[in-house]
Amino acid sequence: MAEYNKLQPDLSFVRNVMEAGGDTVKRCYQCATCSVVCPLSTPENTFPRKEMLWTQWGLADKVAGDVDVWLCHQCADCTVYCPRDARPGDVLGAIRASAIRYYSRPKALADMLSKPGGVVGAIIAAAVFILAVAAMWAQVTGEGFPFPEGVVVYDKFLSVIPIDAVFLSLVAFVLFVCYNGVINFWGDISKGAGLPLSYTGSVPTPSLGTLLGKYTWPAVSDILSHARFKKCGQTAERARGHLWLLWAFIILFVVTNFVFVAEDLLYNAMHLIGPVTPMPLYHPVKLLANFGAILMISGIWLIKTMRDKKTEENVLKSSAQDWTLIWLIFAVGATGIGSEVFRLINVAQIAYPVYVFHLACVFVLFLSLPYTKFGHLVYRSTAYVFQKWAEDVKAGRAGFGLEKPSGAGEH
């Protein structure tokens, strides 16, 4: 008698996808139009047809182990040509949102930061926390709070020592959550891709040197050029906004680390050089920082404009999480420029509160990395690397210790 595998649908997974913006998934009748018109789908990596079917059936495990979910850039070409208005791009976007929550710990933060009210509350809480830290530090040093006298200098208001302690702790926490999420994600997509396990039973992984040199750099080059984004049809103009935003983050990351090393370590901690900040407007680092801020605001505004237009045309569906992230990034850029402007015109009563608000927005934006759509930066990048690695493994070009080494386990 023939044996049959009984499907065990995960109805909570289907419900979460529908609530996250994939409510049209039930309309799909598997015509495969979406996979045919998708500019990024290939014969080796066809999507989003199979993902639509798996989601309808509630096969959460299959979807979790599908790297193709992350190779979709929600270009909306499939939505425009879908005869059933099933909106596959929006469904895959909702699946990615659910996946980010799945890999996050604690999930309460993902739930909070996915809602506009939660983000506003987090910004307020971060601002209060930063002020409390500043007040406690002022009790120790006897200076710098609430408003220092004289010319506006932010280091006098919020000393670098407590602020560094706050943000370095945040960085450590976020990196820990991201690391655990990526490790679990890599394991799931390795199993989903059907890669053979090593002799120890673990999922295949390249050595660190091979990973960085052979697979990560090509993926990074792809990301920096936004080559895949540029293939999109209906939302092709989004590529420019995303590219500007990406480079803005890179520039501001470089500037922030330069100031941290020069001002906080070499000057404040080690006294090897003189003070670095505040920098004159013509200083190269200041020029780079201002360029990065302008690029950030311009990029996020292009993305907002594109989403407004495509939402109105019913080409793209934007969720509350999409808009929340857009406005949070805009707030980071706007308050950063506002902090500089009010410092230059020396209006202490406005400059210091705006500066605190800017730090709070930066805090929440960075905190949101493993918990919101901002996590695309982590998981899509990982998917790019994995795709190149898996292709080599399947073609036999990349060994990773499938066979038991000679002498292993022998006594």
Q: How many distinct structural domains can be found in the chain?
A: 2
My answer on whether 75 and 138 are in the same domain is: no
DSSP secondary structure letter of residue 229: G
My answer on whether 90 and 140 are in the same domain is: no
Is 84 within the bounds of a domain?
yes
Confidence at 46, pLDDT banded by 50, 70, 90: confident
My answer on whether 130 and 185 are in the same domain is: yes
With beta carbons less than 8 A apart as the criterion, state whether 18 and 55 touch: no
302/238 Cα distance (integer angstroms): 7
Question: What's the pLDDT score for residue 400?
Answer: 52
The residue from 103, 118, 148 where one domain ends is 103
Contacts for 1-10: CB closer than 8 Å, 24+ residues apart: 7/57, 7/58, 7/59, 9/57, 9/58, 9/59, 10/58, 10/59, 10/60, 10/61
The residue from 103, 128, 152 where one domain ends is 103
My answer on whether 141 and 236 are in the same domain is: yes
Residue 401 has pLDDT above 50, yes or no: no
pTM across the whole model: 0.89
Confidence at 375, pLDDT banded by 50, 70, 90: very high
My answer on whether 56 and 191 are in the same domain is: no
Average pLDDT score over the chain: 87
Helices (H) and strands (E) in the chain — how many of each?
18, 0
Question: What's the pLDDT score for residue 199?
Answer: 54
- Give the model confidence (pLDDT) of 135-169 as tens digits: 887 777 766 666 677 788 887 777 777 888 889 99
Is 174 within the bounds of a domain?
yes
Question: What's the pLDDT score for residue 406?
Answer: 46
> What mean pLDDT is predicted for residues 356-364?
96
My answer on whether 52 and 133 are in the same domain is: no
My answer on whether 298 and 236 are in the same domain is: yes
- Give the model confidence (pLDDT) of 175-230 as tens digits: 999 999 999 999 899 888 887 766 556 666 788 888 888 889 888 998 998 888 88
Structure tokens at 38: 């998708």
183/386 Cα distance (integer angstroms): 12
The residue from 87, 103, 119 where one domain ends is 103
- Give the model confidence (pLDDT) of 93-148 as tens digits: 999 999 999 999 999 999 999 999 999 999 999 999 988 888 887 777 766 666 67
With beta carbons less than 8 A apart as the criterion, state whether 330 and 307 touch: no
With beta carbons less than 8 A apart as the criterion, state whether 252 and 296 touch: yes
DSSP secondary structure letter of residue 43: S
Question: What's the pLDDT score for residue 408?
Answer: 46
Is 166 within the bounds of a domain?
yes
Is 401 within the bounds of a domain?
no
Q: Which domain holds residue 237?
A: 107-394
Q: Under the phi-then-psi rule, with left for phi > 0, alpha for psi from -120 to 50, and beta for the rest, what region is 372?
A: beta
Question: What's the pLDDT score for residue 136?
Answer: 82
Backbone dihedral angles phi then psi of residue 88, each to the nearest 5 degrees: -55, -40
CB within 8 Å of 303: residues ≥ 6 apart: 238, 241, 242, 245, 326
My answer on whether 299 and 153 are in the same domain is: yes
Residue 405 has pLDDT above 90, yes or no: no
Confidence at 12, pLDDT banded by 50, 70, 90: confident
Question: What's the pLDDT score for residue 403?
Answer: 45
Is 44 within the bounds of a domain?
yes
Query: Residue 246 class from Cβ within 10 Å (0-12 exposed, 13-18 middle, 19+ buried)?
Result: middle
> What mean pLDDT is predicted for residues 313-333?
92
